[in-house]
Amino acid sequence: MKLDSQKIEPMVRSLISRLAENGHEALVVGGAVRDLLLGITPKDYDIATSATPEEVRKVFGRQSRIIGRRFRLVHVMLGGHLFEVSTFRRRPSIEERTTREGDDGVMIWSDNEYGTRDEDAVRRDFTVNAMYYDPLKDEIIDTVGGLADIQARVVRMIGEPEVRLAEDPVRLLRALKLVGLFGFTLEPELAAAIRKLAPSIALSSKSRCFEELLKILAKPSAASTFAVCQEYGVLDHFWPNLATGWNSPAGRLMRNLLQLRDERVAAGVYSKSQTLGLATLALAFVGPSLRQGDENPGPLWSTSREASLRCREALRIFFEPYPVPKFLQIRTREVLMLMPSFFQAEPQHHVVSHPQYRYARELFHHLAKLQGWDIGQFAHWPEASPESARRSNHEGEAGARDGGGGNRRRHRGGRNRHHGPKPAGGQPQ
């Protein structure tokens, strides 16, 4: 099996060459190799290397920065692209895990033991995510049977599914994401382990689960991924509110809205918008409570301050138990509170110039379509100007951690820095 090396971001080759010139092995790994083999241009690149973080820093100097405690890696900035470069690691042995203070030996919470490339492959989650690509030699390195599984479109856990899921229950979501995204099937033992261990997802730290939720929303397959989570009984434990409402009228509306949003993401209308994703999930569930007390209810809620306060509270309850960062809470509320404006006869400047206008308009159009409203009657509301579209798109693309705008693309590498669930009573990750 070959991959199309033309699809690789050129900076990846420069980064790897510079490490190689300094005597270090360095390879593309993980989702980027998987995507390239599927003919998809990767959005980000995971780079794995034999160099320690300090050695990587020596090569790239001020273009690099060591980050993370539980999973130390290096951010390297090249040609305006940010890459995360991580050192080959091995799976900590059971002795190492059990002798750590407070560790029950099942869940991995730290992953800083360096190892060889082949050890690095087996500590990864699925065979399709554990292949390496050397862009200098145009060579794929597959020690776990990933190529065969990609061809068969199968998600297969490396090692014992139950053990590896118990080590890190976020892997449950990661497996289901591959099913939702690519239509892969789960290897039967993995499928059975997921059903059995579905409740364990609730043991993972809320911040890691929320990060996964945002990653699900970043793909054009959010509706199918949530559907697969529901099918395997994982949604009940991952996001109980969504699971409870799944088959209600609001749940059906939510799924249809998400499907329309996914089609637009797939068409490349916008790359990632966390805000629009969260507002799309919330609209159908939160909408009814925004109308409470409206004397003359129109098709949507009023834009009053009271409605906005109710919206804040309703969103908080809907997203429980997740700690939605404040900037995303505010933007999600803004999208919902802009929506009734589209019934005004004249476009209002403060609405059209609002940073969330583009997303409010988008969501409103999806809702209008599903409700059978005549879209023509809203045609006087312009599409956002290209400039504001670009601005709000970048806001949407920024990671939840920094919350900032910025127009750098992030190429993230070896991502296990959040490895392992939060131990009971431990530090949030």
Summarize as ranges the residues that interact with ligand ATP (CB under 6 A).
30-31, 44, 46, 124-125, 129-130, 168, 170-171, 174, 215, 412, 414-416, 419
| Span near Mg ion by CB under 5 A; candidates 23-31, 180-188, 401-409, 418-426 | 23-31
86: β partners:
48
Give me the least distance between CB of 291 and ligand ATP, in Å please. Answer: 37
- H-assigned helices in 205-273: 206-217, 222-231, 235-238, 240-245, 249-266
Q: What are the φ/ψ torsions at residue 154 (nearest 5 degrees)?
A: -120, 140
Nearer to ligand ATP, 216 or 338 (CB): 216
Binders of Mg ion in range 54-113 (CB under 5 A): none
Give me the least distance between CB of 367 and ligand ATP, in Å please. Answer: 28
Residues 6+ apart with CB under 8 A from 137: none
The only residue of 24, 31, 141, 172 in contact with Mg ion, by rule CB under 5 A: 31
Could you tell me the sign of the dihedral formed by the alpha carbons of 169, 173, 175, 176, in that order?
A: positive
| Span near Mg ion by CB under 5 A; candidates 42-50, 97-105, 309-317, 347-355 | 42-50
Give me the least distance between CB of 190 and ligand ATP, in Å please. Answer: 13
Give me the least distance between CB of 82 and ligand ATP, in Å please. Answer: 13
Give me the least distance between CB of 319 and ligand ATP, in Å please. Answer: 21
| Span near Mg ion by CB under 5 A; candidates 24-32, 141-149, 338-346, 402-410 | 24-32
Nearer to Mg ion, 15 or 284 (CB): 15
CB contact at 8 A, 109 and 96: no
Amino acid (one-letter) located at 145: G
Question: Taking CB within 5 to 8 Å according to partner kind, which of ligand ATP, Mg ion, none is near residue 168?
Answer: ligand ATP
Give me the least distance between CB of 148 and ligand ATP, in Å please. Answer: 17
Question: Taking CB within 5 to 8 Å according to partner kind, which of Mg ion, ligand ATP, none is near residue 169?
Answer: none
Going by C-alpha positions, the residue among 278, 283, 258 that lies closest to residue 324 is: 278
Nearer to Mg ion, 30 or 340 (CB): 30
Give me the least distance between CB of 172 and ligand ATP, in Å please. Answer: 10
Question: Taking CB within 5 to 8 Å according to partner kind, which of ligand ATP, Mg ion, none is near residue 187?
Answer: none
Distance CA 132, CA 164 (A): 21
Distance CA 340, CA 346 (A): 13
For the chain, the 3-state helix, strand and coil shares in percent, each to the nearest 5, are 55, 10, 35
When asked if residue 414 is in the footprint of Mg ion (CB under 5 A), the reply is no
Amino acid (one-letter) located at 15: L
3-class state of residue 84 by DSSP? strand
Nearest residue to Mg ion, scored by beta-carbon proximity: 31
Nearest residue to ligand ATP, scored by beta-carbon proximity: 31
Query: H or E segment at 11?
Result: helix 10-21
Give me the least distance between CB of 58 and Mg ion, in Å please. Answer: 25
Could you tell me the sign of the dihedral formed by the alpha carbons of 26, 30, 36, 41, in that order?
A: negative
Contact letters (x/-) for Mg ion, 354-393, by CB under 5 A? ----------------------------------------
Nearer to ligand ATP, 165 or 315 (CB): 165
Question: Taking CB within 5 to 8 Å according to partner kind, which of Mg ion, ligand ATP, none is near residue 354?
Answer: none
Distance CA 58, CA 192 (A): 46
The two beta strands, 154-155 and 185-186, are parallel
Going by C-alpha positions, the residue among 210, 208, 285, 293 that lies closest to residue 250 is: 285
Number of helices (H) and strands (E), helices first, in the chain? 20, 10
- H-assigned helices in 116-187: 117-122, 146-152, 161-167, 170-182
Nearer to ligand ATP, 34 or 366 (CB): 34
Give me the least distance between CB of 6 and Mg ion, in Å please. Answer: 20
Binding site for Mg ion (CB under 5 A): 31, 44, 46
